[in-house]
Amino acid sequence: MTPDEESPLLTERRGRVVTLTLNRPHRRNAMSTAMLGQLAEQLTDLVRQGEEVTGALVLTGAGSTFSSGADTREPDWQDLSRRAVRRAHFRTVFSALHDAPFPLVAAVEGYALGGGLELALGCDLVVAAEGALFGLPELAVSAVPGGGAVHSLLRRAGRGVAARMLLIPGERLGADELARLGAVERVVPDGAAREEAGALAASVAAQDPSLARAGVRLLRDSGHLDRASALGVENGYWWQAASAAARGPAPRPEHSSHPR
């Protein structure tokens, strides 16, 4: 079997932890249309099954690289209508990452470029090897980021970092620098990112599923809000948790904002 005939996405489940591995190491896990289609389908299915089935998800890449981004050598890249199919898969992937009712952990070895960086930043926690490099080379290939990388960088690391990675040709930031800036949560020795991410995911998955769901929703839904609105969302989740702990309905205070 040739590399291109192998499945571009591998799925492994250990208890309540699912690991999805981008599997095109011969192309530095560049994202083909087939890979994105499988990733979109698998993530959508996991989201549908919910937090009672999956307690945490690890997203990683086979070999020595997380992902070098979109596969610009694929014929689809030069055909706008076929690129639209790829784009639809891509948007489905990021919608599923946002909607996932369980924590998401990225395990990054080597490069996380373009769409690869976007996948990593689409996770709640990023574990990166010391030698990992992150970048946004889209402008150099007549494209712009399409999976929320700029938004994620603005929120997690600030405008200056987003500007450097987007506008300066060839700019690559290392794991240690991004950790200092708040875009990477844990830095580990080279070769240890997957193991560390798996252990972290297992510890997260051991929590009460309803509380983990509340935690990720609070994290994802309040970061863009002003303080008053964020506190309203937080208040809603507080009452959900208190109600569950009391095993009965909790009174709803006036003027609180409850999540759907």
Residue with tokens 């252990």: 199
Number of structural domains found in the chain: 1
Q: In the chain, what is the greatest distance between 2 CA atoms, to the nearest angstrom?
A: 63
Residue 167 in any domain: the answer is: yes
**pLDDT of 185:** 97
Residue 260: inside a domain: no
Describe the crossing of helices 33-49 and 80-99 by its angle, rounded to 10 degrees.
30
Separation of alpha carbons 155 and 236, rounded Å: 23
Digitized pLDDT (tens) for each residue of the chain, 260 residues in all? 556 668 999 999 999 999 999 999 999 999 999 999 999 999 999 999 999 999 999 999 999 999 999 998 887 677 888 888 888 999 999 999 999 999 999 999 999 999 999 999 999 999 999 999 999 999 988 888 888 889 999 999 999 999 999 999 999 999 999 999 999 999 999 999 999 999 999 999 999 998 999 999 988 888 777 788 778 878 887 777 777 777 554 343 343 343 33
Q: 258 lies in a domain?
A: no
In a domain, 218, yes or no: no
Can you give the three-state secondary structure of the chain, one letter per residue? CCHHHCCCEEEEEECCEEEEEECCHHHCCCECHHHHHHHHHHHHHHHHHCCCCCCEEEEEECCCCCECCECCCCHHHHCHHHHHHHHHHHHHHHHHHHHCCCCEEEEECCEEECHHHHHHHCCCEEEEECCCEEECCHHHHCCCCCCCHHHHHHHHCCHHHHHHHHHCCCCCEEHHHHHHHCCCCEEECCCCHHHHHHHHHHHHHCCCHHHHHHHHHHHHHHCCCCHHHHHHHHHHHHHHHHHHHCCCCCCCCCCCCCCC
- Domain membership flag for residue 211: no
What domain range includes position 25? 3-205
Rounded distance, CA 57 to CA 105, Å? Answer: 6
CATH of the domain at 94: 3.90.226.10
Query: How far, in Å, CA of 225 to CA of 193, rounded?
Result: 32
Closest-CA residue to 142 (of 90, 94, 78, 88): 78
Q: Is residue 254 part of a domain?
A: no
Q: Could you tell me if residue 231 is inside a domain?
A: no
In a domain, 184, yes or no: yes
Amino acid 64: pLDDT = 96
Please tell me the distance from the alpha carbon of residue 192 to that of residue 189, in angstroms, as a whole number.
6
Phi and psi for 60 in degrees, rounded to 5? -150, -175
